[in-house]
Structures are given as C-alpha cells and as structure tokens.
Amino acid sequence: MTTAVRQPFSIHGDHIRLSVRLTPNAGRDGIDGAEETADGDVVLKARVTAVPEKGKANKALIELVAKSLKVPKSSISVVSGDTARKKILRIDGDTEDVMSKLKDLVKG
C-alpha cells in the first residue's frame, strides 16, 4: 500500500495556496523544505532576515517565494496569518507551472 506524500500547497481554482512557517530575523534568507507540524499540517519552512514589524517580514517572504518560483511579486499575497508565524500565501498564475516549481522547491 502506497501513501500519498502530503504537500504544503493545494490548487484552489485559478490559484494555489501555500502554507508557510516563517522564521523572521534569521541569519539568512532561505527556504528549508517542508515539514509536518505538531498539529499534522504540512508547511514550507522559510526564513528571512527582515524583522517582524510593519509587514517587513511578510514583504521579504513574498520576495523570497517570488524569486524562488520565478513569478512576479504581485502574483503573491498573504491570505491569512499576517501577524503569525504560520501563513497561507495565495499564488496566482499558471497553476500547473507553479505546482511543478513548488514540488521542486519543497524537495529542498
């Protein structure tokens, strides 16, 4: 019996939602692959050097994800978790192309 590998992203019609656990004020910007949280969710681990005030860390996260996926920053927005470490990002665009890039990114 094969179990499906859970991913931190899913398709919602014309966009993709990505679950992220953000570490602000880190020593470097980077994406560290996926992990399962204590409550059973799967999230993409990301770290940014920006401080978590006035949306600076969220802006840095959007820039990091956009650069990693090679999509415009304007196609990514924070759907929930503005002030929390766990966030959900909405990524607009060609869902098949973005899904393919996300699968590579999650592998680390």
CATH topology for 9-107 is Conserved Hypothetical Protein Mth637; Chain: A; (3.30.1200)
The CA distances from residue 81 to 74, 75, 97, 99, in Å, are 18, 18, 25, 22
Q: Is the model's pLDDT at 12 over the cut of 60?
A: yes
- Domain ranges in the chain are 9-107
With CA atoms as reference, report the closest residue to 91 among 105, 106, 73: 73
User: pTM of whole model > 0.85?
Assistant: yes
Extended beta strands in 37-98, E state: 42-47, 76-80, 86-92
Judge contact between 74 and 41, C-beta under 8 A: no
pLDDT in tens, 30-47: 999 999 999 899 999 999
Band (2; pLDDT cuts 50, 70, 90) = very low
